[in-house]
Structure 1
């Protein structure tokens, strides 16, 4: 036997085994290192999530001078606030600005809507950080608008970096937010679950009373509920908003002939037309429509928000003057008949009335004037 050859083979075998052990150890250490890094990243992501921020989106010193569209004014009523929010959102999106709205206004609208302004909305703490921690103070600009469309705001850098642009007044031109219509309808002015549940009972009771049929609605969201209503072929719902109390003294209130002409239009157009009436003068409407079996008033228990949501769920609309009625027609979609007696307050008719608002004849531009659009 050749013992020297056997000894060499033994040494070679031991060397190979040693190399394999070293490689295995290195591989195990690599796995542990990667796992440790992943754990650290995971922990950081969880921390970021718990603080409602995302990694890579912390405010840098450059971002601290970004533009901010700002609302603190609270003129008018609910419909006016909706115009302010919509216009401010449209401008913030257009110019890649932050949006900051005083909490009182946010809470008022959140009592009705989901109001998901997440792409641009910042909190009070972030607003303070942006405005107070900057190396140089931000330039503050305010603009007061009733309803005209400010075309200069569509230009690039109309709201430059380092500017706080405050909206004052009413901002009642839909053209400031027309580019973001779908976002307003699908994420922002979308009814909350609680209000959807409340108004769904109105429809359930109607179908049970009129047709001895109790529909089962899935209240996932505003749009899906609206779709379910439209698929019930037994009815075409038309919303009617009648504003009277504060309009009668200033001669803005619509007369009975306008309402009945508009009802006639839809009745002839849709054989199964049914009407839902919301008004600040229910006793007047109850008397006016007492002989109409296909016209129903919203319950006394309904709030302003409930009235707005139920009208927005209709397929078509009849509205009198005011921003509340305007928004019921805008959110409902379909055809919208608007009384021309209400002055738009704009210098041009198309600033206030979208093309699908059906108006017979000219409208007054301003109150106490014969100037028409």
Structure 2
């Protein structure tokens, strides 16, 4: 299936108000190729960096620009990126910021004809919906990370006689802090995961499903999610946990961009927590869920 077909079938085209139907043409001024880069690449964690990289790449491809990203970040140490580099004049380029931190800004797909730095989180699939195959290729894990993830999978299949592995991401940590909660950064309760587990089982009757959990709060997971068909992974780097989750056939995510990318990279059924960034909170009022969650993903509450 082509990227264009996927874009029409899996993403809410009505709310991605930009057409990718025309061929990408190289944009230049006086035969000089235009560039774009991130204004602040190191802002946020791995999931934030992935959105900015994918979004900037989609913006660049739409306009025939060349995109590059700051080398030496956690992103480059995790994935085999092909657009790392530094332009000697980048610090002098003007900065264009996205209009809304949690919605698609179609104006970024039609930038002025000059070299630019883009400022924003770019947390919408609309920025890269037409180049999903390329984005997946960019997010190929470094070999040493992929090997560790493969070994974990091998052990699960051998020791648990699994016919399907479903990844589960449980983000808690800083989202438990009052200042984060007040903005809308909530965490699901045990009841959400119970519903999500049961829903996933109902979709695949007769299959031996093992749920493999990655979390920043292992004691909570062991106390609340313990079951014969649940494995709580031991501590590891965010890169290794993401490699494991994205290698699963399906994913249950909780809160945050890290879980979003685990689901997107796995490319199967994805269940997400509808209580994350609820309306009435500062961040929740900014979030456009139609340009954040692909429409085939399944929302479940507590």
- Give TM-score scaled by structure 2 length: 0.79
Question: 1:226-255 deviations in whole A, cap 9, x for unaligned?
Answer: xxxxxxxx5111110000111122440111
Describe how 1:350-369 pairs up with structure 2 within 5 A: 350-360=290-300
Matched, 1:299 2:266: no
Equivalent position to 1:102, from 54, 62, 70: 70
Give distance in 1, aligned partners of 2:269 and 2:96: 36
Matched, 1:92 2:60: yes
Describe how 1:1-373 pairs up with structure 2 within 5 A: 62-64=30-32, 66-73=33-40, 74-105=42-73, 108-117=74-83, 123-124=85-86, 127-128=87-88, 140-144=94-98, 145-154=100-109, 158-161=110-113, 163-185=114-136, 187-211=137-161, 234-249=162-177, 250-251=180-181, 252-270=186-204, 271-290=207-226, 292-300=227-235, 302-343=236-277, 346=286, 348-360=288-300
Give distance in 2, aligned partners of 1:61 and 1:235: 55
> Are the equivalent residues in 2 in contact too, given 1:243–1:281 (CA < 8 A)?
yes
Question: 1:245-286 deviations in whole A, cap 9, x for unaligned?
Answer: 111224401111001100011122223211110000011111
Runs of 4+ in 1 over 6 A off after TM superposition: none
Give distance in 2, aligned partners of 1:208 and 1:238: 16
Give distance in 1, aligned partners of 2:196 and 2:300: 11
Q: 1:61 to 1:69 in 2, by over 3 A?
A: closer
Larger Rg: 1
Give the number of aligned pairs.
258
Deviation at 1:109, TM superposition (A): 1.2
Structure 1, unaligned stretches of length 5 or more? 1-59, 133-137, 212-233, 362-373
Give distance in 2, aligned partners of 1:360 and 1:284: 20
Deviation at 1:347, TM superposition (A): 5.1
Structure 2 SS opposite 1:238: strand
Structure 1 SS opposite 2:211: strand
Structure 2 SS opposite 1:359: strand
Structure 2, unaligned stretches of length 5 or more? 1-27, 278-283
Give distance in 2, aligned partners of 1:166 and 1:245: 32
> Are the equivalent residues in 1 in contact too, given 2:195–2:300 (CA < 8 A)?
no
Give distance in 1, aligned partners of 2:230 and 2:142: 26
> Are the equivalent residues in 2 in contact too, given 1:312–1:331 (CA < 8 A)?
yes
Cα RMSD over matched residues?
Answer: 2.3
> Are the equivalent residues in 1 in contact too, given 2:101–2:120 (CA < 8 A)?
yes
Structure having greater relative contact order (Cα 8 Å, sep ≥ 6): 2
Q: 1:345 to 1:172 in 2, by over 3 A?
A: farther
> Are the equivalent residues in 1 in contact too, given 2:196–2:300 (CA < 8 A)?
no
Deviation at 1:82, TM superposition (A): 0.5
Question: 1:164-188 deviations in whole A, cap 9, x for unaligned?
Answer: 2222131101101111111111x20
Question: 1:190-209 deviations in whole A, cap 9, x for unaligned?
Answer: 11211111111112222332
